[in-house]
């Protein structure tokens, strides 16, 4: 499956991608506001600018596939189909949250959707993804495992150990590197002798390619192709999804490490702007269509906030639950 050319893009497909990206953008913008209102606490890592990666990848993956994510995973979770209510309630620390208030922003889980969590240790999810892939292989399951991580993770030993093991055992793992150019405040070229991430993967005999991570069509096509090859027994693959984070690393980041001009330049080629322009130029979407999707996204976020506000707190009496598995009732 190649990325659709200008001739083959359909209205339905384009609107579906845009709709999901608008949901994520609206969610993240509201989180930013709620943090200021002290409704959300702890670390909060927003994914504005990276929506095309989440939406494109999740559209190309199926319900059998397992997902392992990072601490910047609101977009992954929402695109995967986690109810926005449960995600927002989790950020509020409520019992109705997708991790019952024990995980917060960095640890969203939904086992029914095979969403194996945000991991707040950089590269900490990669070995787990290898194991999920091993289970899929040994159990002869049809699914693959998609593992998100950032460019910072490639400096960790777990990245190298995991790529080697996945390649050695030809496991069905798709490594998805969201390269947003900065590991917190450290630019890739200030921390890596070899900045070509795909080249590192090829060093482990893993098929790898770089993709425009600001183009949801391109991400969807690349992930779809890679997933199909993996399902066909080709072994693991890596995609470097080149993207950019519009907001700060977290809510405590004065962003001294990058120029405003750089941020603005990337915003001009942001995933929402480019997709919107493309669809309008092609005559596949009107301004009314856009406004409707935007209003629907805002309404969904409003409802999620109301849900989270009203949701109960986990009783302190239950503090020690779930440290160990509970006997079946």
Partner 1 sequence: MNGPDATHSSGTRMVDAAQITPLAPARLSYRDAVRAGLRDALRADPRVFLMGEDVGRYGGSYAVSAGLLEEFGAQRIRDTPLSESAFVGAGIGAALGGLRPIVEIMTVNFSLLALDQIMNNAATYSHMSGGQLHVPLVIRLATGAGRQLAAQHSHSLEGWYAHIPGLRIAVPATIDDARFMLAAALACPDPVLLFEHAALYNAEGDLTPGLTAVDLERAAIRRPGRDATLITYGGSLAKSLVAAERLAGEGIDVEVIDLRSLRPLDEETILASVRRTRRAIIVDEGWRSGSLAAEVATRIVEHAFYDLDAPVARVCTVEVPIPYAKHLEEAALPSPERIVAEVRRSVGREGAG
User: Contact residues for partner 1 (CB under 8 A)?
Assistant: 66, 68, 97-103, 107, 109-111, 116-117, 119, 121, 124, 126-136, 138-139, 145, 157-158, 161-162, 164-165, 168-169, 321-326
Considering the complex, what minimum distance in angstroms separates the CB of residue 22 from partner 1? 28
| CB of 124 vs partner 1, minimal distance in Å | 6
| In the complex, least distance from residue 106 CB atom to partner 1, rounded to whole angstroms | 9
Name the minimum Å distance from CB 114 to partner 1.
10
Q: Any idea of the CA torsion for 263, 267, 271, 276, to the nearest 10 degrees?
A: 180
Report the DSSP pairing between strands 182-183 and 186-187: antiparallel
Q: Output 138 or 261, the one with its CB closest to partner 1.
A: 138
Which is closer to partner 1, CB of 6 or CB of 326? 326
**133 vs 270 by CB, closer to partner 1:** 133
**Contact in structure between 290 and 13 (CB atoms under 8 Å):** no
Helix (H, G, I), strand (E, B) or coil at 234: coil
Q: Of 25 and 107, which CB lies nearer to partner 1 in the complex structure? A: 107
The DSSP secondary structure of 14-57, one letter per residue, reads HHHHHHHHHHHHHHHHHHHHHHHTTSS-S-----TT-HHHHHHH
What does the block give as tokens for 298? 């805002």
Distance separating alpha carbons of residues 301 and 61, to the nearest angstrom: 25
Q: How far is the CB of 168 from partner 1 (least distance, A)?
A: 7
Nearer of residues 111 and 310 to partner 1, judged by Cβ: 111
Q: Kindly provide the b/e burial profile for residues 180-207, where b requires at least 16 CB atoms within 10 angstroms of the residue's own CB.
A: bbbbeeeebeeebeebebbebbeebebb
- Residue with Cβ nearer partner 1 (116 or 182): 116
Distance in Å, CB of 109 to partner 1, minimum: 4
Going from the C-alpha of 203 to that of each of 57, 95, 199, 208, 320, the distances in angstroms are 24, 45, 6, 10, 45
Smallest gap, in angstroms, from Cβ of residue 202 to partner 1?
Answer: 18
Residue 105 phi/psi, 5-degree rounding, is -55, -35
Spatial distance between the Cα atoms of 163 and 174, rounded to a whole number of angstroms: 10
Nearer to partner 1 among residue 303 and residue 319 (C-beta): 319
DSSP code at position 137: H
Q: Quote the least distance from Cβ 218 to partner 1, whole Å.
A: 29
Which CB sits closer to partner 1, 121 or 184? Answer: 121
């Amino acid at each position: 499956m190649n990325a659709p050319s200008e001739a083959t893009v359909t209205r339905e497909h384009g609107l579906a991608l845009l709709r999901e990206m608008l949901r994520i953008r609206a969610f993240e913008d509201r989180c930013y506001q709620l943090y200021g209102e002290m409704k959300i606490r702890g670390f909060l890592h927003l994914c504005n600018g990276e929506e095309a990666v989440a939406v494109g990848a999740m559209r190309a993956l199926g319900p059998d596939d397992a997902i392992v994510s990072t601490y910047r995973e609101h977009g992954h979770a929402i695109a995967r189909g986690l109810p926005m209510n449960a995600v927002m309630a989790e950020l509020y620390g409520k019992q109705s949250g997708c991790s019952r208030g024990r995980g917060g922003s960095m640890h969203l889980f939904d086992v029914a959707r095979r969403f194996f969590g945000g991991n707040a240790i950089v590269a900490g999810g990669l070995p787990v993804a290898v194991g999920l892939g091993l289970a899929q292989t040994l159990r002869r399951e049809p699914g693959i495992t998609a593992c998100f991580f950032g460019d910072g993770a490639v400096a960790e030993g777990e990245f190298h150990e995991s790529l080697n093991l996945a390649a050695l055992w030809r496991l069905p793992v798709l490594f998805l590197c969201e390269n947003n150019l900065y590991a917190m405040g450290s630019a890739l070229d200030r921390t890596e002798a070899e900045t070509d991430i795909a080249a590192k993967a090829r060093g482990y005999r893993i098929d790898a390619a770089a993709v425009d991570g600001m183009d949801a069509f391109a991400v969807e096509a690349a992930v779809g192709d890679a997933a199909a090859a993996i399902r066909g027994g080709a072994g693991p693959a890596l995609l470097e999804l080149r993207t950019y984070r519009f907001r700060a690393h977290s809510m405590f980041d004065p962003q001294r490490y990058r120029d405003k001009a750089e941020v603005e330049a990337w915003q001009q080629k942001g995933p929402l702007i480019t997709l919107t322009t493309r669809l309008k130029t092609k005559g596949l979407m009107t301004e009314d269509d856009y406004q409707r999707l935007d209003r629907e996204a805002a309404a969904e976020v409003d409802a999620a906030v109301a849900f989270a506000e009203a949701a109960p707190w986990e009783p302190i009496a239950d503090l020690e639950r779930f440290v160990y598995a509970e006997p079946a009732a």
